[in-house]
Amino acid sequence: MNLLDLFKHLKPYVRPYRWLVFLALALTLVGSLTAQVNAWVLRYAVDSVAALLNLYPEATDAAQSAAPGAVSNAAISTGPDVIAAGFEVLALITLILLGKEVINVIIQFGQKYYGEKLRIHISHDLAQSVIERVLTYRLAFFSVNANQPGKLQTRMDRGVESLTRLVQNFFIDILPMFASSVVALAMMFNANFYVGLVGFATVPIYYYVSRKQAARLSGSRHLIKELRENKSHGILSILESMPVIKSFLREDIEKAKQMSLQTGLTDVQLKIRRTSFIFDGLKTFIEQIGVVGIIILTTWLVLSGQMSIGAIMFHILLYSNVTAPIRRLHLIYDQMNDALIYAESFFELLDDGEEKKSRVESSGNYRPDRNREQGLIGSFSLRGVDFTYPDNASPTLHDINMEIRPGETTALVGLSGAGKSTLINLLDKFYQPNSGQIMLDGVDLEEYDTAFVRENIGLVLQKNHIFNGTVAENIRYGNPTATDEEIVEAAKKAFLNRQVSAMPQGYDTPAPLLSGGQQQKIAIARMFLKNPPIIFLDEPTASLDALATQQIKKSLDAIKKDRTVVVISHSISQIIDADRIYVMQNGRIAEGGTHEELYHAAGAYRDIFDAMARSLNIDKIAKTLE
C-alpha cells in the first residue's frame, strides 16, 4: 500500500466530516501567511533603524567615538530626536507582532481543536467499522495463525491509532508547515530569484535523503509490527494460561519466551534509531549548507547595493520557515510508515474485494415459512462430507455419511480428536465442508439463511464463554427481549436460581466471579431461554458435579421432547438414552445404530462403552447398590 492508496481508503471516513477539513484548510491558509510576519517585521525594523541612523549620523559617530561607559553630549542631544523619530516604527512593530500573536492563538486553537475533533470522529468510525466487519467473518478466518486473538487485537488497535494520528497530525502539523513552507519559498523568489533558488535547491536533496531513510527502515518497521503482534499474543496467552503456568512451575519458560521476543524487538528498535540518527545528521548538514549559501549570497547583494541590510535576516527567517517541515520530515515519514504498515493489515480486515467474499459467512435466502406446530425442522442428511481446518495439513473429517432424524436424540461417540465437535460446527454453519453435501429438511444447508438456521439451534459447549456483565445479562443473551421473570424461570430449569439468589447481589452479581460449574449452568439457562427446536450439546455437563449433572440431565430430558438433539458426551447416561448413536474414529463414521445394536455388534462402540464403564468402576458400584 502506498500513500495514495492510504488516502483513498481513508476518504470514505473523512468525507462525513469535510466541514472540519474545510475549517482546518482555511485556518491553515491564514496561518501560513501569519507565519511569515516575523520575517517582514524584522526586515522593516532593520531597514527603518538603518534609515534613522542615516538621518542622524552624528549620534552614531558620537556613540562609536565615546569611551566605553561614557555618554557624549552629541548622543545626549540627538538621542531624543532619534527615539522620537523611531517611535512610530516601534509602535507599528509592536502592534503588528501583538496582533499576529493574537491571530496565531486563535488559529492554533482552531487547528488543534478541529484536528482533534476530526481524529476522534474518524477513530470512532474506523474502530466501529472493523468490529462490525470482523463480526461478519466465518470462524475459519479466526482459525488462521495470523488471526489469533492477540495478533488480531494488535492489528486493529495499532491500525486505528496510527491512521487517526496521521489524520490529526496532517491537519495540525504537516499541512500548516508545508503551506507555510510554500508561502515562504514563494516570498523568497518574489524578493530575489537567486536567493529563492538557493533556498529551493536544498529541498529536493533533503527530500531524497528522507526517502532513502524511509526505504532503509521499511523492512525493520514490518519486522517490528510482526514482533509486536507476537508479543501481544504472547502476553494474552500468559494471562489466559496463568493457572497452568503456576501449577507446572513454568514461570521461567514463559519469561524466557517473552525475553526472546522483547530482545528481538529491542534490537530492531536500536537499529532503527541508529539509522535515523545517521540520516538526521546528514539532513542537518544539508540544511546548514543552505543557510550558509543564503548568508553569503544576501551579504554580497547588500554590499553590491542590490538589497537592503534587513533583507539578510528576512531571507534567513523565510528559509527557516521553508526548512521547518523538512526538519520534521523524518517524523512525518515515521508516522506515515507506521500508518502504511498497519494500514495495510488493518484495511485487509475491511477489504471489499474477492478476499472479503472468502472471509464473510455465506448465507442463502431460504427461510421456510413454518413453525413447530406445522412441522419440525431438524432432519439432517450428510453425504460424502470432507473438511479440513484452515492452516491444517491433514483433513479432519473424511467421507461422512449419516442421518439425523427430527424429534430424536442422536449421540456422537468417539475418542478425543475424532471430529465430533467439528461435525457440530458444520451443522451450525460455522464452517463449510470442503466437499460433500449437508441437507436440512431436504434443502441444501448452504441455501438456508444463516441467521434463520442459528435462530433455530441451541448450542451448549463444554466450555462456554461468559461475557463481562451480570448473571442476568449473560442469561438474557439467549433472548435479548426476555423479561426478568423469564430469566429466573430459565435459571430454575438450569438449577441455578437457588445459588444466585443466595448471593448478596443476586442476579446483578458479575458473572465472571461465578465458579466454572455455575457458569456452565448460565450457558444451559441461555439455551432454555432461547427455546430452539434443534439442540446441540457438546459435553454440556462436563464442568458440573454429580448432583448438578443429575439435575441438569432431568431438565435436558424434559427439553429434548419433540426436538432434534445432537449430543456429544462421554457420559454413559447421556449416550444410552439416545435414539441413534454414531461412533467416530479418526474423522470417519465407524458405525451407527441403537445402543443395543452397536453393543452386540462387538465393534468400536463396545470397546468405548466398556472403557467408560470401567472408568466408573461400575462393578463396585453395582455391588454397592445391591
Q: Determine the average pLDDT of the residues in 571-577.
A: 79
* Residue where a domain stops, chosen among 299, 320, 355: 355
Most confident of 14-18, 297-301, 537-541, 583-587: 583-587
Amino acid at position 114, single letter? Y
Task: Work out the pLDDT band at 483, boundaries 50, 70, 90.
Answer: very high
Same domain, 261 and 140: yes
Same domain, 289 and 174: yes
Task: Sort 613 into a burial class: Cβ within 10 Å, 0-12 / 13-18 / 19+.
Answer: middle
Does position 342 have pLDDT exceeding 70, yes or no?
A: yes
Does position 216 have pLDDT exceeding 50, yes or no?
A: yes
How many domains does the chain contain in total? 2
Q: Which residues contact 449 (CB under 8 A, 6 or more apart)?
A: 363, 364, 365, 366, 367
Task: Work out the pLDDT band at 61, boundaries 50, 70, 90.
Answer: low
Does position 244 have pLDDT exceeding 50, yes or no?
A: yes
Answer yes or no: are the C-beta atoms of 264 and 273 closer than 8 Å.
no
pLDDT of residue 326: 66
Task: Work out the pLDDT band at 505, boundaries 50, 70, 90.
Answer: very high
pLDDT of residue 1: 65
Same domain, 129 and 36: yes
DSSP 198: H
**Residue 514, domain member (yes or no):** no
CATH number at residue 410: 3.40.50.300
Does position 470 have pLDDT exceeding 70, yes or no?
A: yes
Does position 66 have pLDDT exceeding 70, yes or no?
A: no
Same domain, 258 and 397: no
Same domain, 89 and 176: yes
**Residue 475, domain member (yes or no):** no
* Residue where a domain stops, chosen among 322, 355, 388: 355
Q: Mapped to the 3 state alphabet, what secondary structure does 242-295 carry? A: HHHHHHCCCHHHHHHHHHHHHHHHHHHHHHHHHHHHHHHHHHHHHHHHHHHHHH
pLDDT of residue 76: 44
User: Is the pTM value of this prediction over 0.75?
Assistant: no
Same domain, 147 and 31: yes
SS3 call for 584: strand
Same domain, 391 and 439: yes
CA distance 566 to 412: 7
What secondary structure does DSSP assign to 481-533, as a single string? Answer: T--HHHHHHHHHHTT-HHHHHTSTTGGGSBGGGS-HHHHHHHHHHHHHHH--S
Same domain, 253 and 398: no
Strand partners, 440: 380, 443
**Backbone φ/ψ region at 538: left (φ over 0), alpha (ψ -120 to 50), beta:** beta
Does position 343 have pLDDT exceeding 70, yes or no?
A: yes
Percent of the chain exceeding pLDDT 70 equals 86
Task: Sort 49 into a burial class: Cβ within 10 Å, 0-12 / 13-18 / 19+.
Answer: middle
Answer yes or no: are the C-beta atoms of 411 and 582 closer than 8 Å.
yes
* Residue where a domain stops, chosen among 338, 355, 372: 355
Task: Work out the pLDDT band at 387, boundaries 50, 70, 90.
Answer: very high
Same domain, 330 and 392: no
Task: Work out the pLDDT band at 397, boundaries 50, 70, 90.
Answer: very high
**Residue 473, domain member (yes or no):** no
Long-range pairs, 393-400, Cβ under 8 A, ≥24: 395/434, 395/587, 396/422, 396/587, 397/422, 397/423, 397/426, 397/433, 397/587, 397/588, 398/586, 398/587, 398/588, 399/436, 399/588, 400/436, 400/588, 400/589
* pLDDT tens column, 147-206: 777 778 878 887 888 788 777 777 766 777 777 778 888 888 888 888 888 888 887 887
**Residue 478, domain member (yes or no):** no
Answer yes or no: are the C-beta atoms of 294 and 319 closer than 8 Å.
yes
Same domain, 384 and 349: no
pLDDT of residue 386: 94
Closest CA to 314 of 325, 329, 299: 299
Amino acid at position 196, single letter? G
Supply φ then ψ for residue 453, to 5 degrees: -60, -45
Closest CA to 437 of 516, 509, 383: 383
**Residue 160, domain member (yes or no):** yes
Question: Of the ranges 72-81, 118-127, 474-483, which one carries the lowest mean pLDDT score?
Answer: 72-81
pLDDT of residue 375: 42
Longest CA span, the chain: 133
Does position 338 have pLDDT exceeding 60, yes or no?
A: yes
Answer yes or no: are the C-beta atoms of 594 and 579 closer than 8 Å.
yes
Question: Of the ranges 337-341, 345-349, 401-405, 415-419, which one carries the lowest mean pLDDT score?
Answer: 337-341
pLDDT of residue 615: 75
Cell of 176: 500548516
Cell of 404: 439425523
Same domain, 438 and 549: yes
Return the residue matching grid coordinates 495495510: 344
More confident residue, 263 or 542: 263
**Residue 318, domain member (yes or no):** yes
Task: Work out the pLDDT band at 84, boundaries 50, 70, 90.
Answer: low
> Which residues form the domain of 343?
3-355
Does position 584 have pLDDT exceeding 80, yes or no?
A: yes
Task: Work out the pLDDT band at 625, boundaries 50, 70, 90.
Answer: low
Same domain, 292 and 403: no
**Residue 345, domain member (yes or no):** yes
**Residue 513, domain member (yes or no):** no
Strand partners, 580: 410
